[in-house]
Amino acid sequence: MHIDKDLVAAAATPLVLAILAEGESYGYAILKRVRALSEGELEWTDGMLYPLLHRLLRLGYVTTEWRTSPEGRRRKYYMVTEDGRAALADQQRQWATVTRALNDVWPGSGVLLTGLGEA
Amino acid sequence: MESLESQIAEWRAYVANAPGVNGHDVDELEDHLRHQISELNAAGLTADESFLVAVKRLGDLDDLSREFAREHSGRLWKQLVLSGDDEPARASSGWFEPLAFAVAAAVVVQVARLAAGFPDEEPTWLARNATLFVLPFLAAYFARRRQLDTRHWGLTALPFVLAALVVNIYPWGADSATEALVTLHLPVVLWFVVAYPYMGGTVGSHARRMDFVRFTGEWFIYYVLIALGGGVLMGLTAGILEPTGVDVERIAEWVLPSGAAGGVIVAAWLVESKQRVVENMAPVLTMLFTPLFAVMLACAAVVYAATGLGGAFDRDLVSVFDALLVVVLALVLYGMSARDPATSSPGWMDGIQLVAVVSALVLDLMVLGAMIARIGDLGFTANRTAALGLNFVLLVNLAGAAWLSARFLTGRSTLHRLERWQTSYLPVFAVWAATVVVVLPPVFAFD
């Protein structure tokens, strides 16, 4: 299934924040998690994740730290902040509203993310 | 494996050259690339194949660099001048236009000087209107450069017209203190008016406001450099012409005012088109002077507190402290605007800056306390009101900045908040300066 570019872009921030809310992570692992979560349906160009992460950093939603990876390379880890958690909660409310509206106007489809409404 | 390493090195060099991408970004992308390669390797691809797939997955470099540049607009702006792919006509063909505006400003200033008979006579209207002869040309230069429409041109011109009316219609008394205050504050007001066309009318944008702060700092550096060069030129000219019996002072009367006026526009043009030069210098200057000021201010604060000089201040001292706070604020603002957006965690410079700001605040509070006590006895005058008002406006700004940067240093706030505080505060300065120009004179009966 092809997912519209704008929709992918809109989902990127809450998705990344939610993944970081599970625990600190780094670029490559975040992308793998996105693929796993969406079963490969959310197609990102790998590189685009990094400008997004830098934006979250500038807004104070995440902090970062350079560490040495198990393979001995320098790796940049990202951790979500309190502000980031607040932003995530806000995003969740927005998505819940959108989902509810779509659910109402598409009766019977039933497949829309009902779980999100309780999030 | 050897060839893979050289391929990665080549890729690194290529990516590092892309606009908007800096060294740390490349490190991060390389880690990603290597991770991907080793996984593809494990899945059975050869080193070569893994490399190709991994690079392909990172995406088109142009798109990637555009995304990075959009996020780090400060970096993009460094690159624009060099590559200039987007606006090829900007850097090279642009010199005629600024020159025309500079000459126009120079001519207008000269006409005004002749009309006033300066320097044989020194009518106060000349000093009062001085910036009105120059800054409209700067505003017009930006309005043209940003290709503003008619409505925006009108909104740019309106404040100049109003300012010209106000300062020339008010019935100034002889030796009027409020007139001197207007002479001092009008340039500030008009500089903020220039911000409007500079930002292309988008005065609400915090990023553009920060750009204007950066522009102001760089413009100042260029202007000082031009003035120094001009001074050397004038000195040499005088030395050469002296023996021929030419009246050098007469020449200086003609050259200096026009040079000073034209320099305003030339400096702005240089900032716009040759940013790279000053951009490398400005952060260095801030780095040099912030610690020096911090030491000076901290020592002064200790001395004042220990010797108890705090009780015996007069008005002049408040003016000195106003100037001091302006300089500290300029350092803080400029240091902030010149900051590399990539390093958003606090460094030692932030600590030093905080020392400077807090020391300045402590000193200023002592002065302010003494001053308010004395005003109780002596009452308000225009000068005292202006000095105290400015002091208060600066104090609030620096106190907010100190509070936020302390929180930033302890990791409880972000640089973004600090920048927001400063860019949101900018209109307060404009409003205060405008108040001194428009409201204060009638309140104190133009005296």
Query: For B126-155, what is each residue's pLDDT tens digit?
Result: 888 888 999 999 999 988 888 888 888 998
- Per-residue model confidence (pLDDT) at position B433: 93
Amino acid identity of residue B75, one-letter, is: R
- Per-residue model confidence (pLDDT) at position B310: 53
Q: What are phi and psi of A63, to 5 degrees?
A: -120, 165
B293 burial level (CB within 10 Å; 0-12, 13-18, 19+): buried
Task: Name the least confident of B76-85, B227-236, B276-285, B323-332.
Answer: B76-85
- Per-residue model confidence (pLDDT) at position B2: 57
**Residue range B297-338, pLDDT digits in tens:** 888 888 877 876 655 556 667 777 788 888 888 888 877 776
Binned at pLDDT 50, 70 and 90, residue B73 comes out as: low
Question: Quick one: what percent of chain B has pLDDT higher than 90?
Answer: 17
- Per-residue model confidence (pLDDT) at position B204: 82
Rounded to whole angstroms, the Cα distance separating A102 from A89 reads 20
Does B237 contact chain A (CB < 8 Å)? no
The residue ranges of chain A whose pLDDT is under 70 are 108-119
Count of pairs with CB atoms under 8 A, one residue in A, one in B: 77
Number of Cβ within a 10 Å radius of residue B121: 8
- Per-residue model confidence (pLDDT) at position B81: 36
Tokens at A91, concatenated: 């995003």
- Per-residue model confidence (pLDDT) at position B249: 81
- Per-residue model confidence (pLDDT) at position B72: 65
Closest C-alpha to B112, from B164, B172, B179: B164
Say if CB B105 and CB B134 are below 8 A apart.
yes
In Å, how far is B71's CA from the nearest CA of chain A? 6
Report in angstroms the alpha-carbon separations of B225 from A62, B10, B168, B219. Answer: 42, 41, 33, 10
Question: Quick one: what percent of chain B has pLDDT higher than 70?
Answer: 88
- Pair type for strands A74-80 and A62-68: antiparallel
**Cβ B67–A47 below 8 Å, yes or no?**
yes
Does A93 contact chain B (CB < 8 Å)? no
Q: Which of A28, A30, A43, A64 to mutate to test the interface with B (most CBs of B within 10 A)?
A: A28
Rounded to whole angstroms, the Cα distance separating B132 from B365 reads 35
List CB contacts of A93: < 8 A, sequence separation 6 or more: none
Provide the 8-state DSSP code for A107: T
Report in angstroms the alpha-carbon separations of B118 from B216, B224, B254. Answer: 29, 24, 10
- Per-residue model confidence (pLDDT) at position B188: 93
Closest C-alpha to B125, from B163, B181, B168: B168
For residue B52, pLDDT beyond 50: yes
CA-nearest residue to A77 within chain B is B28
Binned at pLDDT 50, 70 and 90, residue B12 comes out as: confident
Amino acid identity of residue B191, one-letter, is: W
Does the CA dihedral B72-B78-B81-B82 come out positive or negative? negative
Amino acid identity of residue B156, one-letter, is: T
Per-residue pLDDT averaged across B249-270, rounded? 88
Q: What are phi and psi of B206, to 5 degrees?
A: -70, -35
For residue B50, pLDDT beyond 80: yes
Residue B119 CB-half CA count within 13 A: 9
B94 burial level (CB within 10 Å; 0-12, 13-18, 19+): middle
**Residue range B379-431, pLDDT digits in tens:** 778 888 888 888 889 889 989 989 988 888 887 777 788 888 988 999 999 99
Tokens at B244, concatenated: 């021929």
Say if CB B107 and CB B259 are below 8 A apart.
no
Rounded to whole angstroms, the Cα distance separating B68 from A50 reads 8
